[in-house]
């Protein structure tokens, strides 16, 4: 059965794919795939029925490709699609597991900076005592703060980097500012991650389908470099690429069908996983050939 993909529509032209994903969707159509449209604004506003009104009845299994969705909204999307005889290839529980750090951390604990987290509501930072207790579970020294999904690395000193976890006042100040800036978009709660120094060469994004590394690209915020499909059936190390076997084991343990792992080279020469995500909502570097990415989406597999 040809792949069917659900894209966010253009907010100003509801019959068109959002411009950010337009080249990808054109390539999919050229390759014979079906493209359907989702009203992202309606979904985030809580009207999942209206959001999927343009999806044909009986559309069957769909892969979502679009803007990030809170896990609860994703579940509402899947439920609304099922009422129309469709469903998402990645079920809501697996989406949450790959999308939010508490879901993927255990599988990747040996490969990623040590992390601890607390649930928190938008606009309400944990009090200093709770933050100090959370920090006590991490190695001494510096850390960064994020929510279950995103950080504010572009406000590094103000709302991301904590120079010393033992400085409870500074810890609370940075976390409080982070929560303030995230506003209503705070996802899940507050995460503290031990700080690790990485080099300046940027990050790699590895795209996994059914536990196999199908494509390696630069991270969208990193310089363009010549990368591609990991070589060999084993997906082992190549010049300029990390050995993906330890990451493969973690991806298999995570048991999610379509994920990304972002890797960076630590200052001591060790590759580390700095982020995991559901690939449906992972962005693609501008230098990646749409045809290569579409082959990833349409490759034969379990999902």
Report the DSSP beta bridge partners of residue 203.
264
Last residue within a domain, chosen from 135, 162, 194: 194
Distances in whole angstroms, Cα of residue 199 to Cα of each of 123, 222, 303: 34, 12, 35
185 with 202, same domain: the answer is: no
In the chain, how many domains are there?
3
Is residue 110 packed enough to be buried (19+ CB in 10 Å), middle (13-18) or exposed (0-12)?
A: exposed
* Residues near 154 by beta carbon (within 8 Å), at least 6 away in sequence: none
- What confidence score (pLDDT) does residue 231 get? 45
- What confidence score (pLDDT) does residue 22 get? 95
Q: Residue 303 falls within a domain, yes or no?
A: no
Nearest to 108 by CA among 290, 281, 259, 285: 259
- What confidence score (pLDDT) does residue 135 get? 98
* Residues near 44 by beta carbon (within 8 Å), at least 6 away in sequence: 69, 70, 73
- What confidence score (pLDDT) does residue 213 get? 95
First vs last Cα of the chain: how many Å apart? 12
Does residue 121 contact residue 185 with C-beta atoms inside 8 Å?
Answer: no
Q: Residue 49 falls within a domain, yes or no?
A: yes
190 with 202, same domain: the answer is: no
Does residue 231 contact residue 214 with C-beta atoms inside 8 Å?
Answer: no
- What confidence score (pLDDT) does residue 148 get? 98
245 with 102, same domain: the answer is: yes
Retrieve residue 9's tokens.
């529509």
Q: Pairing mode, if any, of strands 198-209 and 189-194?
A: unpaired
Crossing angle between the packed helical segments 92-99 and 101-108, to the nearest 10 degrees: 70
Retrieve residue 64's tokens.
């979502």
- What confidence score (pLDDT) does residue 236 get? 44
- What confidence score (pLDDT) does residue 223 get? 76
Instruction: Supply the CATH number for residue 201's domain.
Output: 3.30.470
210 with 293, same domain: the answer is: yes
* Residues near 295 by beta carbon (within 8 Å), at least 6 away in sequence: none
205 with 184, same domain: the answer is: no
76 with 216, same domain: the answer is: no
Does residue 261 contact residue 273 with C-beta atoms inside 8 Å?
Answer: yes
Distances in whole angstroms, Cα of residue 104 to Cα of each of 50, 54, 115, 146, 261: 32, 33, 11, 15, 11
Tell me how far the alpha carbon of residue 288 is from its chain's centroid.
18
- What confidence score (pLDDT) does residue 234 get? 38
Does residue 221 contact residue 158 with C-beta atoms inside 8 Å?
Answer: no
Identify the segments of the chain with pLDDT beneath 50. 231-237, 239
74 with 102, same domain: the answer is: no
Helix, strand or coil, per DSSP, at residue 201? strand
136 with 175, same domain: the answer is: yes
> pTM for the complete prediction?
0.92
Distance CA 303, CA 296 (A): 11
Distance CA 233, CA 293 (A): 19
49 with 176, same domain: the answer is: no
Strands (E), 139-224: 143-146, 161-162, 189-194, 198-209, 212-218
Residue-number span of the structural domain to which 234 is assigned:
98-106+197-298
DSSP code string of 84-121: TTEEESS-HHHHHHHHSHHHHHHHHTTTS--EEEEE--
Retrieve residue 124's tokens.
């309400």
């Amino acid at each position: 059965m040809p792949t069917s993909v659900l894209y966010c529509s253009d907010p100003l032209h509801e019959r068109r794919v959002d411009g950010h994903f337009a080249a990808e969707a054109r390539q999919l159509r050229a390759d014979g795939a079906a493209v359907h449209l989702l009203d992202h604004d309606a979904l985030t506003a809580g009207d999942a029925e209206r959001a999927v009104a343009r999806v044909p009845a009986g559309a069957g299994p769909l892969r979502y490709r679009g803007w990030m969705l809170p896990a609860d909204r994703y579940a509402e999307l899947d439920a609304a699609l099922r009422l129309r005889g469709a469903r998402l290839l990645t079920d809501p529980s697996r989406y949450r597991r790959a999308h939010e750090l508490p879901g993927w951390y255990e599988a990747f604990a040996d490969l990623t900076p040590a992390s601890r987290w607390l649930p928190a509501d938008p606009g309400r930072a944990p009090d200093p005592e709770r933050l100090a207790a959370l920090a006590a579970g991490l190695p001494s020294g510096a850390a960064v703060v994020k929510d279950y999904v995103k950080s504010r690395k572009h406000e590094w000193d103000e709302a991301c980097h904590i120079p010393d976890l033992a400085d409870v006042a500074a810890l609370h100040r940075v976390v409080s500012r982070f929560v303030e800036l995230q506003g209503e978009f705070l996802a899940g709660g507050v995460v503290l991650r031990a700080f690790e120094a990485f080099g300046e060469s940027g990050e790699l994004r590895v795209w996994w389908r059914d536990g196999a590394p199908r494509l390696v690209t630069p991270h969208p915020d990193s310089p363009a470099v010549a990368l591609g499909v990991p070589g060999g059936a084993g997906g082992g190390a190549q010049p300029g690429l990390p050995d993906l076997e330890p990451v493969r084991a973690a991806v298999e343990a995570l048991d999610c069908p379509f994920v990304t792992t972002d890797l960076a080279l630590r200052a001591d020469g060790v590759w580390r996983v700095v982020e995991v995500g559901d690939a449906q909502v992972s962005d693609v570097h501008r230098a990646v050939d749409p045809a290569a990415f579409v082959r990833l989406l349409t490759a034969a597999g379990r999902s």
